[in-house]
């Protein structure tokens, strides 16, 4: 199964970049959660280290199986994912106003976190089967949406998990774009999208939960609700901005440990990093992410088959969206939707999901060329 060709083609660059980001994440979590009152630090960073170890093992496991084998079972996996999402409704554990987790004894498991991957796998298989350079019209798109997108999107949105639902939509659209949307449709879609935003927004608005509305209002005007989300955005901008050019120095940030910035080690981890490492550090961090993303697109381009190309592109898009939404959110450019920063935010499920995703890209890249030894 694993032959020397695979090892030869292993993309060390992406793997190391991902691992480094995860470790930078741990060190930032360590700094963000360092105690100011209690003698002992909460063990977030240790748990995150365990998860990194586990993620690397899973990474190696995933690259050892040919992605085509995985894609072959993608519909089955997708189906299982849908069942898990339904299961969440009945046995899910509630937390922070949402019902997203399935308890598994010592840990809980968030199906929606992995479902995006299952979705990409199924879409890849389906689109690949349709052939190359498609001319997707409205009818075809509606059909694909009905088959793959509508059900999970509704299930996830009702958990409610606005962030994941939104990401799913982005992945769906971007994969269709890669597959080939009729140009006219693309142009019309963009125009209609821009024009109808306020009208559609109204309908969309009515269906939102109170806190979701708050988040969007706060995004529009952070002063509206200074103690709520507006406070998050303001403090996040303060945290990042106060880092200045070179930052306050590692373990010298004040906004997180003194609790001015909530969710400092999860969704707002970038702000903490930017406070301590400044513009220079943040720029380097951005380059790491950019490297992984461009490598992902490169893999999609060089994939040996359409399934590999869709898979690599879809995952890269997902990774990109997460990064942009998170970074944009912490800098006050996009609404606060509760999206973690890939690889760095505290949280085992997300981290494992990130590594599994990158493992699939790695998988595609490793198997992209004919065997040079044959």
Partner 1 sequence: MERRILASSYLVLLVFALLVLKLFNLQIIRGEEYKKVSDNNRLKIVRRPAPRGIIYDRNGMAFVSDMPFFDASAVKKGLPEDWNTLFSLSSLLNISTETLKAILNKPPVNNSDEIKLKENLSFDEVATLEARKMEFPGLQVDVRTGRKYLYGALAGHVLGYLNRLTPGQLKNDDFSDVPQEAFVGQYGAEKFYDDLLRGVAGGEIIEVDAMGREIRVVSFEPSIKGKDIRLTIDMMTQLEAERSLAGKTGAVVAVDPQTGEILALASSPSFDPNLFSGGISHDEWSSLADNPDKPLLNRAIQSRYPPASTFKVITAIAALEQGIITEDTTFDCRGSLKIGGRDVGCWQKKGHGRIGLHRALAESCDVYFYEIGKRININTLADYAQRFGLGRTSGIDINGEITGMVPTSEWKERVKHEKWYMGETVSASIGQGYMTATPLQMAMLTAAVVNGGRLIKPSILMRDEGGPSLNEESVRVRAETLDIIMSGMRGAVQERSGTGWSANSKLTSIGGKTGTAQVVGKDSFSKGYNKKFKDHAWFISFAPVNNAEIAVAVFVENGGFGGVAAAPIAKNVIEAYMKSKTENEKLRLEKLKEMTEKSMPEIVNEASGTESSEPGSGD
Which residues are near partner 1 by CB under 8 A? 36-37, 132-133, 174, 177-180, 235, 237-245, 254-255, 257-260, 274-275, 278-279, 282-283, 286, 290, 293-294, 297, 300-301, 306, 309, 313, 317, 320, 324, 327-328, 331, 333
Q: N- to C-terminal Cα distance for the chain?
A: 15
Judged by CB, which is closer to partner 1: 84, or 136? Answer: 136
Judged by CB, which is closer to partner 1: 88, or 178? Answer: 178
Q: How far is the CB of 235 from partner 1 (least distance, A)?
A: 8
* Contact by Cβ (8 Å): 302, 365: yes
What does each C-alpha distance from 270 to 43, 189, 233, 302 come to in angstroms? 19, 33, 13, 32
Q: Which two tokens stand for residue 4?
A: 């020397």
Q: How far is the CB of 332 from partner 1 (least distance, A)?
A: 8
Judged by CB, which is closer to partner 1: 101, or 268? Answer: 268
DSSP string, 300-321: HHH-SSHHHHHHHHHHHHHHHH
Of 221, 223, 284, 274, the closest CA to residue 248 belongs to 274
DSSP string, 136-156: B-HHHHHHHIIIIIHHHHHHH
C-alpha to C-alpha distance for 366 and 8, rounded to whole angstroms: 8
Q: How far is the CB of 139 from partner 1 (least distance, A)?
A: 21
Q: How far is the CB of 156 from partner 1 (least distance, A)?
A: 24
Judged by CB, which is closer to partner 1: 61, or 290? Answer: 290
C-alpha to C-alpha distance for 9 and 21, rounded to whole angstroms: 22
Q: How far is the CB of 306 from partner 1 (least distance, A)?
A: 8
Judged by CB, which is closer to partner 1: 81, or 296? Answer: 296
C-alpha to C-alpha distance for 95 and 189, rounded to whole angstroms: 37
Judged by CB, which is closer to partner 1: 212, or 235? Answer: 235
Q: How far is the CB of 84 from partner 1 (least distance, A)?
A: 30
Of 174, 158, 81, 88, the closest CA to residue 122 belongs to 81
Q: How far is the CB of 176 from partner 1 (least distance, A)?
A: 10
Judged by CB, which is closer to partner 1: 41, or 371? Answer: 41
């Amino acid at each position: 199964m694993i032959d020397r060709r695979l090892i030869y083609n292993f993309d060390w660059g992406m793997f190391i970049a991902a691992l480094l980001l995860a470790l930078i994440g741990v060190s930032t979590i360590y700094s963000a959660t360092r105690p100011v009152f209690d003698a002992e630090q909460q063990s977030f960073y240790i748990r995150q280290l365990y998860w990194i170890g586990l993620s690397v093992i899973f990474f190696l496991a995933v690259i050892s199986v040919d992605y085509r084998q995985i894609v072959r079972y993608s519909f089955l996996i997708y189906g299982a994912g849908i069942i898990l999402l339904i299961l969440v409704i009945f046995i899910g554990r509630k937390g922070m106003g949402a019902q997203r987790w399935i308890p598994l004894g010592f840990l809980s498991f968030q199906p929606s976190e992995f479902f995006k991957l299952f979705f990409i796998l199924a879409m890849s298989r389906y689109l690949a089967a349709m052939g190359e350079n498609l001319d997707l019209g409205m009818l075809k798109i509606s059909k694909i949406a009905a088959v793959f997108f509508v059900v999970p999107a509704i299930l996830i949105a009702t958990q409610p998990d606005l962030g994941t639902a939104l990401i799913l939509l982005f992945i769906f659209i971007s994969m269709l774009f890669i597959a080939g949307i009729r140009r006219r449709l693309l142009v019309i879609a963009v125009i209609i999208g821009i024009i109808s935003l306020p009208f559609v927004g109204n309908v969309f608005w009515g269906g939102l939960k109170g806190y979701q509305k708050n988040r969007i209002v706060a995004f529009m005007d952070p002063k509206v609700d200074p103690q709520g989300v507006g406070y998050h955005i303001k403090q996040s901008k303060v945290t990042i901005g106060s880092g200045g050019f070179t930052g306050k120095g590692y373990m010298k940030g004040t906004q997180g440990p003194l609790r001015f910035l909530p969710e400092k080690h999860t969704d707002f981890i970038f702000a903490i990093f930017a406070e301590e490492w400044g513009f220079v550090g943040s720029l380097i961090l951005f380059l790491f992410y950019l490297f992984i993303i461009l490598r992902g697109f490169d893999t999609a381009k060089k994939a040996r088959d359409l399934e590999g190309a869709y898979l690599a592109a879809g995952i890269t898009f997902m990774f990109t969206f997460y990064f942009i939404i998170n970074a944009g959110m912490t800098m006050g450019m996009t609404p606060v939707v509760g999206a973690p920063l890939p690889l760095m935010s505290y949280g085992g499920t997300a981290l494992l999901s990130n590594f599994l995703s990158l493992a699939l890209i790695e998988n595609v890249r490793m198997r992209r060329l004919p065997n040079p030894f044959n």
